[in-house]
Structure 1
Amino acid sequence: MDLFDVTIIGGGPAGLYSAFYSGLRNMKTKIIDVQPILGGKVNTYPEKVLWDVGGLPPMQAQQFVQNLINQANTFLPTICLNTKVEQIEKHGDIFVISTNSGEVHYSKTIIVAVGGGILNPIKLEIDCAKKYEKTNLHYTISGLERFRNKKVLVSGGGNGAIDWAVELLLVANEVVVIYRKDQLTAHESQVEKLKEHGVQIMLNAEIQDLISNEDKTAIEEVVVSQNGDTYQLQVDDVLISHGYNREVSLTFADDIKPLLKNDYYLVSQGQCKTSVPGIFGAGDIISYDDKVGLIVGTFQDAVLAVNNAKLYIDPQADQYAMVSSHNEKFNEKNRELLKEIFYKA
C-alpha cells in the first residue's frame, strides 16, 4: 500500500499551491484531477490578463497557470490526471479513495480543492448547433488570433461573456452582444468598455436559429428574436457563454460526509477544517464567513489547509512552515538562482 500524507483532489490554483506548500512541510503529496491538464478553471480563459495577484505583473492566464504548475512541482508530488474520484471511505486512520479507473489511493489526510467542480458549458439548445462546434460555434476561446478581422456574436451577459467580448475587441473587426435579460449582469467597468467602443448590445434577445453556409459546415447567419421581432445577423463566429453545469461529484461513505452549505463544503474559518477530521478544503469549493472569492484568497486557504493537515498527522509539528527566505529546503535552490542572476549580470 502506497500511503500518502495528503491527497489533494483538484489541480486548479488551490490544489497546485497546496501541493507546493505541503512539499515545503515535508509531506508526501498526491494530486488527483479529472481533467487531462492541470490548472482548473483558469484554463477556460488562457489569454485573459490577470492583474490582481499580489507581487506579479499583469500576465495572461496561461502563463500564470504554468507558473503555478512549475511551483507545485518543486517537491515532486505524484500527479494523477484523467482520474475522477468516485468514492471516499475511511478504514481506521486511513482514507481510501476509489476512482473511475478502478485504482485505489490511500492517504492520511485529504484536501478537497475541486473549485467549482467539474464544469461543463451550458450548450445552445438548438438542434443543429452541435455540428458547428468543429467550425465556428464556440463555448470557450483557446486563442484570440483566430478571430482577427472577424465579426463575432457573443451570446450572454454575465462576467464570462462580457470579459470575452472585451478581449475580442483587440482582434475582431466587429463584436455583437446579445443577452436574454433586460440588463447585463457583468462588472460595470467591462460593460462601459463595450459601450465606449460602440459595440452593438441587444437586450431581451435570444438566438432562435442558425443558418449555415452553402456547404453546410459553418454558421453564416444567426436568427435573433428581440421583443417579438426577428433579425438575421451575418457572422463569422458565434461564442456562447451561458454559464456552466457544475458537478461536484465526490461521494463519501455515510459515516464521513462533510457538511455542505449550498453545495459548498462548510469549513471552520481560519483553519479550513471540514466537519470530518482529516478532510480539509481550499479554494472556491469551500464556504466560511468573509471568504475572499479571489485567487489570492485561494492561496491562504491552501496554506491553512496544509498546516492543519500537518497538525492532524503530527500534533507536535510546527504550526506553520518556516518562511521560504529562511527555509533550509531552499538553500541549494537559492544558490543556483543567485548564480544564474550573477552570470546574467
Structure 2
Amino acid sequence: MPEAPVRTDVAIVGAGPVGLFAVFECGMLKMHCHVIDTLEVPGGQCAALYPEKPIYDIPGYPRVGAGELIEQLLEQAAPFEPVYHMDQRVEKLERVGEWWRLTTTRDTVVEAKAIIMAAGVGAFGPNRPPLENIQAYEGKSVFYYVTKPEDFRDRSVVIAGGGDSALDWSILLAEIARKVYVVHRRPKFRGAPDSVAKLQALAGAGQVELVIPYQLHRLEGRDGELEAVVVRDFDGGEKALEADRLLPFFGLSMDLGPIRDWGLDLDRQTLTVDPFTCETNLPGIHAIGDIASYRNKLKLILTGFSEAATAAHAIYPRVHPGEELHWEYSTTKGVPGRA
C-alpha cells in the first residue's frame, strides 16, 4: 500500500555526483529537494564501483578520489537539508494537477513541482566476458571494479580492456601490484591520450606488460582461486598468464527500466533535452548528467555540474511563480548556516 504523498519543490532521481550538486544549486535558489536512488548510499558509480579511483578533471582538484568527491558534495548539499530515499527505484510517474507524482518500489510517494532526472546510465551492471565458469571466481579473484586498491598489493593482476577504467587502474596498480598484465585486442587504446602515454611509459620501464593483440580465453584455478588467465590471439595461439586476480573492464550494461515508459523523448539510453534549460519534452521534467542528450554534448562530470545549475534556474519560475529572481553569486550571498 503506497504511503501518503510527501510534497517538495524538486524531486531528483539519481544521487550520483551530478544529482548531489543539483541539490546545492536548487538550495541556493530556495528550492527544497527529495532525492531518490536505487543504491543503498549516495554517490552513484563513484561510490558503488570505484570510491578510491582518482579523478583528474574536477576544477580546483588536481587529483581527487571518487569517494572523497562524493563526501564533499554531500557536505556541500547538507545545509539545504535534502531528504534521501535510498535503495528504491521510481516505478511510476504521473501528473496530478500541478504536481508530478513519483511512486517507488518501496511505496514511497513524492509529489514535486519539478523533476530533475540525474539517473546517469540508469540501472547498471558489468559486462561479463564470455568465459566458462567465470561466476565461480567472481568476488574471490575476479572483480569488475576496485573499491580498495590495497587489496591488490603484491598480487599478480590481469587487466583486460582498452578504455579509461582499464588504463586508470593499470597505471595505479602498477605502483603496488607484484605484476600487471594489460590484455587488449588491438594496439590502439580508447582512453585519454595522457593515460595512454603513461601506460606506454610504464610498459617501457617494465612495470606493466602489454599483452597485445590477445583476448581472454580461459580461466585456470580451483575453488574460485585463480592461478592463470589463458589468452588467445587471432591466429589461435594461446598464452597462459600466471595471475591470481583478473579485472575485466568491458563497460557497463545499462537499463533505463521504467523510465522508458514515461513518455519522454529517448535517444537510445538517454533523454533528449533543450541544452538551454535541460528540459525534456515533458514540461517540468529536466535531465542532467549522462542521461541527458543534446548536440555536441561532452560527457564529463563538470558538464553535468553546469547542467545542474542550468536546470535549477530554469525550474525556479515553476516553483516560485511570479517571483523575480535576483541572482547573487555565492561569494556575496553565502550559504545558509555557513559564515
Normalising by structure 2, report the TM-score.
Answer: 0.91
Unaligned runs of 5+ in 1: 335-345
The answer as to 2:253 corresponding to 1:249 is no
| Higher alpha-carbon deviation: 216-225 or 238-247 | 216-225
Superposed CA offset, 1:180-215 (max 9, x none) = 3453222232222222122222233222211114xx
Aligned residue type for 2:274: S
Counterparts in 2 of 1:57-136, with a 5 A limit? 57-136=62-141
The answer as to 2:278 corresponding to 1:272 is yes
1:230 corresponds to which of 218, 238, 245: 238
> What is the number of residues matched between the two proteins?
329
Partner of residue 211, structure 1: 220
Task: State the alpha-carbon separation in 1 of the partners of residues 325 and 282 from structure 2.
Answer: 20
Task: State the alpha-carbon separation in 2 of the partners of residues 95 and 287 from structure 1.
Answer: 22
Aligned residue type for 1:156: G
| Higher alpha-carbon deviation: 21-30 or 237-246 | 21-30
1:196 corresponds to which of 194, 201, 205: 201
State the Cα distance separating 1:91 from its structure 2 match.
Answer: 1.7
Partner of residue 35, structure 1: 39
State the Cα distance separating 1:321 from its structure 2 match.
Answer: 4.3
- Conservation of the 8 A alpha-carbon contact between 2:154 and 2:177: yes
Aligned-residue sequence identity (percent) comes to 28
2:22 corresponds to which of 18, 22, 39: 18
Distance 1:174 1:9, change over 3 A: same
Superposed CA offset, 1:30-88 (max 9, x none) = 00001111111222222222222222342222111110111122211110000111121
- Conservation of the 8 A alpha-carbon contact between 2:31 and 2:319: no
What SS does the corresponding residue of 1:153 show, helix, strand or coil? strand
Normalising by structure 1, report the TM-score.
Answer: 0.89
Distance 1:316 1:292, change over 3 A: farther
Task: State the alpha-carbon separation in 1 of the partners of residues 200 and 185 from structure 2.
Answer: 18
Partner of residue 340, structure 1: none
What SS does the corresponding residue of 1:333 show, helix, strand or coil? coil
- Conservation of the 8 A alpha-carbon contact between 1:258 and 1:265: yes
Task: State the alpha-carbon separation in 2 of the partners of residues 217 and 286 from structure 1.
Answer: 40
> Hey, which bits of structure 1, 4+ residues long, moved more than 4 A?
none
Unaligned runs of 5+ in 2: none
Distance 1:230 1:252, change over 3 A: closer
| Higher alpha-carbon deviation: 132-141 or 36-45 | 36-45
Distance 1:40 1:175, change over 3 A: same
Aligned residue type for 2:300: L
What SS does the corresponding residue of 1:325 show, helix, strand or coil? helix
